Amino acid sequence: MTRPLDADEPVEETVAVWRALGLPGVVDVHVHFLPPNVQAKVWAQFDQAGPKIGRDWPIRYRRSHTERVEQLRSFGVRRFSALPYAHRPGIATYLNDWAHDFAAGIPECLWSATFYPEPEAATYVPGLIEDGVEIFKLHTQVGEFLLDDPLLDAPFGALEDAGTPIVIHVGSGPIGNPFTGPDHLARLLRRHPRLAVVVAHLGAPEYADFLTLAETHEHVRLDTTMVFTEFFDGDDPFPDDLLPRLVDAGDKVLFGSDFPTIPYPYLEALESLTRLRERHPGLDDDWLRRVLWHNGAELLGLG
């Protein structure tokens, strides 16, 4: 406990990234904080390279919740989510109650919530929205449900009307299953075209199709989580021929990190984006400022 938080952490280099861009910090739309018992089970999946992980994935940030919040602050993260996600019926409310209490004590933390295809979601989701929840998360790969499950229709309708953002992991990375892929989101958007969806991981590996959904739906956005890091690049690299479309989507791309469940320093999440300047002239400092700060600040109401 006496070890300084930055003992083996490149904090100064991390801060230098956003300072060089003239930003007041970064907004990170894709951060996880979970109840300790749930988190232990999730981390065990990563430690064993479980069937939905598929590779070695040594989690770097394993300190206590309090220490991890301090770490995010030291990196200059001014706003972050605490995305819970339900993998079966009956636990969303437990996760949501915990996430509410967690965010209540941390000014930078978004009040985050999840739901699952279950009859109760038609009640608890509108209730959360009315109470002021700020962001939702769904994970179809882990939860193994269809986005157009009839039990999700009322919750999505409430989200669509309220404009509440929802991060959805529905791309087929790292391992696809019958519940992942762009067609699932396309079907959902046909029914709820105004949903403020944030597609996790830029929809990896189906980047082109998810980009199309963002291009054709005013409120669909994409988060950068892990995509351009060296760790990710070997498996599902983002193709060069899509970079011009990433430039054009500059107002719809949000920085995300997946902290704490990442196998590299937070600095790498930021530098993986600044390196893009070398891949395309349009992915310049202005693009980076929008992705690291302005787009998130606007979506999440930070002005």
Shortest distance, position 259 Cβ to Zn ion, whole Å: 9
Shortest distance, position 21 Cβ to Zn ion, whole Å: 24
Shortest distance, position 263 Cβ to Zn ion, whole Å: 13
Select from 151, 27, 8, 119 the least CA-distant residue to 78: 27
- Of the two residues 137 and 219, which places its CB atom closer to Zn ion in the complex? 137
Instruction: Indicate the residue whose CB is closest to Zn ion.
Output: 258
- Of the two residues 158 and 205, which places its CB atom closer to Zn ion in the complex? 205
- Of the two residues 28 and 258, which places its CB atom closer to Zn ion in the complex? 258
**Contact window for Zn ion (CB under 5 A) among 117-125, 240-248, 253-261, 287-295:** 253-261
Cβ-Cβ contacts under 8 Å for 64 (sequence gap 6 or more): none
- Of the two residues 23 and 168, which places its CB atom closer to Zn ion in the complex? 168
**CA dist., res. 228 & res. 277, Å (int):** 12
Take residue 247 and report the two structure tokens written for it: 């430039």
**CA dist., res. 70 & res. 88, Å (int):** 31
**CA dist., res. 246 & res. 106, Å (int):** 33
What is the residue-wise DSSP string for 6-20?
TTT--HHHHHHHHHH
| C-beta separation of 43 from 53 below 8 A | no
Under the binding rule (CB under 5 A), the answer on residue 148 touching Zn ion is no
Q: Which residues pair with 198 in a beta bridge?
A: 167, 221
- Of the two residues 23 and 87, which places its CB atom closer to Zn ion in the complex? 87
- Of the two residues 206 and 258, which places its CB atom closer to Zn ion in the complex? 258
Shortest distance, position 18 Cβ to Zn ion, whole Å: 21
Shortest distance, position 281 Cβ to Zn ion, whole Å: 30
Q: Which of residues 254-283 bind Zn ion (CB under 5 A)?
A: 258
Torsion angle defined by CA atoms of residues 9, 13, 18 and 24, in that order, rounded to the nearest 10 degrees: 70
Shortest distance, position 30 Cβ to Zn ion, whole Å: 6
Shortest distance, position 32 Cβ to Zn ion, whole Å: 6
| C-beta separation of 143 from 151 below 8 A | no
Q: Mark residues 207-246: x for contact with Zn ion by CB under 5 A, - for none.
A: ----------------------------------------
| C-beta separation of 117 from 156 below 8 A | no
Query: How many residues form the binding site for Zn ion (CB under 5 A)?
Result: 1
- Of the two residues 31 and 158, which places its CB atom closer to Zn ion in the complex? 31
| C-beta separation of 140 from 180 below 8 A | yes
The secondary structure of residue 57, as a DSSP letter, is -
The secondary structure of residue 109, as a DSSP letter, is B
The residues that touch Zn ion, with contacts defined as CB under 5 A, are 258
